[in-house]
Chains A and B, each alone.
Chain A
Amino acid sequence: QKEVEQNSGPLSVPEGAIASLNCTYSDRGSQSFFWYRQYSGKSPELIMFIYSNGDKEDGRFTAQLNKASQYVSLLIRDSQPSDSATYLCAVNNRGNFNKFYFGSGTKLNVKP
């Protein structure tokens, strides 16, 4: 079983819609959860992180964490074609918080 699981996609949404990206993790003791965006040929860039149950909003992005279900999601409101990228979910290791486990990423296509 992988530490972090994501649906590889592609997830296609029309411009202006809400994109919902999901991630599950296996270690119940994980503390911090991160969402990165990676454009093709580029390195990942941090979108946001969350470590408390519930929702955290930053502009058009909302991260949702449910530790009981070991589930973290990212909602993108008013999706734009420029949001088309691969979104990586990352979880830090309980025993060594320096070490992150990355999912394989979900490819998002926002169609004009």
Chain B
Amino acid sequence: GAVVSQHPSWVICKSGTSVKIECRSLDFQATTMFWYRQFPKQSLMLMATSNEGSKATYEQGVEKDKFLINHASLTLSTLTVTSAHPEDSSFYICSAREPTGSNQPQHFGDGTRLSIL
């Protein structure tokens, strides 16, 4: 089955640091990947759709300059949280769909727990 790998799984860093999270589709090519954020006991919130070879599409209220997304290849998307602050602490999860057909599910990575001190 489709496997999505996300790295790192856990990050603890000081306020002001920029943090990069990688999302890879291991056994399929993904022209589109998705980045979600989830605060404790809350539902998934879609942040942006990452498109290979073009700009990401951000959801309303998500700062483009704060959350930089790069999708340079068909198997890799990265999310960089720039100048992270404690309020950016959250669980970040990526997902990807296999490109064949409109009924394909999204497959999720294991998530990255980000803690900003």
Contacts and interface: CB of A to CB of B under 8 A. Distances in A.
Contacts of B93: 43-44
A54 B91 CA distance: 35
Nearest to A98: B32
Given A88-B44, A105-B43, A98 B105 contact: no
A92 B32 CA distance: 14
Contact of B49 (A31, A51, A98): A98
Nearest to A107: B41
Given A43-B93, A88-B44, A105-B43, A100 B111 contact: no
B10 to A, nearest CB: 11
B24 interface: no
B71 interface: no
A-B pairs with the 5 shortest C-beta distances? A104-B43, A97-B102, A43-B111, A43-B108, A32-B103
Nearest to B51: A98
B110 interface: yes
Interface of A: 31-32, 34, 36, 41-46, 49, 51, 88, 90, 92, 97-100, 102-105
B102 A100 contact: no
A46 B105 contact: yes
B43 A103 contact: yes
Q: Which of A34, A42, A98, A102 has the most CB of B within 10 A?
A: A98
A104 B42 CA distance: 7
B85 interface: no
Given A102-B44, A103-B43, A44 B49 contact: no
B110 A43 contact: yes
Given A49-B103, A104-B43, 20 more contacts: A31-B103, A32-B105, A34-B105, A34-B106, A43-B6, A44-B93, A45-B108, A46-B105, A46-B107, A49-B105, A51-B103, A88-B43, A88-B44, A92-B102, A92-B103, A97-B102, A98-B97, A99-B49, A100-B106, A102-B44
Contacts of A31: 102-103
A99 B105 CA distance: 10
